[in-house]
DNA sequence: TATGGATAGATGCAGGATACATCTAAAAGA
DNA sequence: TCTTTTAGATGTATCCTGCATCTATCCATA
């Protein structure tokens, strides 16, 4: 039983949402999406965030918009208003060269973290399996 | 060039420390260490945290002590003072049955996140490789 | 024409987690 | 006696998330 029950995934599935306030890795996901799409804007990205998210927790639009402005403030993306497509004006972002490098840094970091997590899972499950073996021998 | 330079790993290695304020996953690492060791106390655990950490950022002792008290408040560990070993008194922790289940939940969550990150890394690097192919064809 | 829905961007605030500094205290060693 | 090691803990600022809320434009339709 998770520490907190998640409304999206229910109480039987131990999801990220139920483990407390974890980092959602919004920045790297946004960088990758912009790389793949060439250019895009917040509302459009928000529709694809879930498919690319690193956790099964939802990435809020509020976090997305703030991340985009933060990336721009740090020179990883640039934006311009697009007003000729109908509907409300869109702030269209694209990666800068520095943003591409920053994405590569994220890939290096997440590659390492991914392997550490896989090792963690093996160890956590192997200690459980040892106990199961003892239980089987005792039973 | 990372957004922030890390003093431990230097500026050429893109480490977690330089990517801003990330989640350090202290709780699952502490749960696993307690599972493996049977019982332990904060100062002892702090020596082994780095070897088991999921990121290359240091896990501060302040975070460790707060995490232990938090785990106890939620019934995942229990503690008792140990005063017969010489030196300052130690607060010795051990997992509860609920703590073992919580570790299994963490393993399920981190298994999923690990695979998502691995997919992220493949995608980030494959889009880079596509560009390299085009560049090679143009060159 | 009015009205609601979809689109689009953004802010405010509370709470969780980290970063860094600092504190207390007992025991061991020089 | 003085310093270091061991051991636990707190204070504050900042970062990130969660949730609510806000403004505004355009479009369909009643």
Q: Place A17 in a pLDDT band, splitting at 50, 70 and 90.
A: confident
Taking a contact as any Cβ pair under 8 Å apart, which residues of chain B between 49 and 88 contact chain A?
52-56, 74
Q: Which residues of chain B have pLDDT under 70?
A: 1-4, 7-8, 127-139
Q: Can you tell me the mean pLDDT for A71-95? A: 94
| Residue-wise burial string across A29-62, b where 16 or more C-beta atoms lie within 10 A, e elsewhere | bbbbbbbeeeebbbeebbeebeebbbbbbebeee
Per DSSP bridges, beta strands B90-95 and B40-41 are antiparallel
Asked whether residue A103 carries a pLDDT value surpassing 60, the answer given is: yes
pLDDT of residue A114: 97
The mean of the pLDDT values for chain A is: 87
Residues 6+ apart with CB under 8 A from A14: A2, B104, B105, B106, B108, B109
Report the top-level CATH class of B25-138: mainly alpha
Chain A, nearest residue to B50 by Cα: A116
- We find that the CATH architecture of domain A16-138 is Orthogonal Bundle (1.10)
pLDDT of residue B128: 54
Question: What distance in Å separates residue B88's CA from the closest CA in chain A?
Answer: 31
Asked if B114 lies within 8 A of A111 by C-beta distance, the reply is: no
Q: State pLDDT tens for residues A32-49.
A: 999 999 999 999 999 999
What are the structural domain ranges in chain B? 25-138
């Amino acid at each position: 039983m998770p520490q907190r029950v998640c409304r999206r995934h229910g109480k039987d599935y131990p999801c990220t949402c139920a483990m407390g306030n974890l980092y959602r890795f919004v920045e790297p996901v946004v960088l990758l999406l912009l790389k793949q799409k060439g250019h895009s804007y917040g509302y459009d990205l928000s529709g694809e965030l879930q498919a690319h998210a690193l956790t099964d927790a939802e990435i809020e639009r509020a976090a997305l918009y703030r991340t985009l402005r933060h990336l721009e403030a740090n020179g990883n993306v640039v934006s311009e208003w697009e007003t000729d497509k109908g509907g409300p004006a869109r702030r269209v972002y694209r990666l800068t060269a520095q943003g591409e490098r920053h994405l590569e840094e994220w890939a290096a970091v997440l590659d390492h973290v991914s392997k550490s997590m896989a090792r963690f899972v093996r160890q956590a499950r192997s200690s459980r399996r040892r106990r199961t073996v003892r239980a089987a021998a005792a039973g």
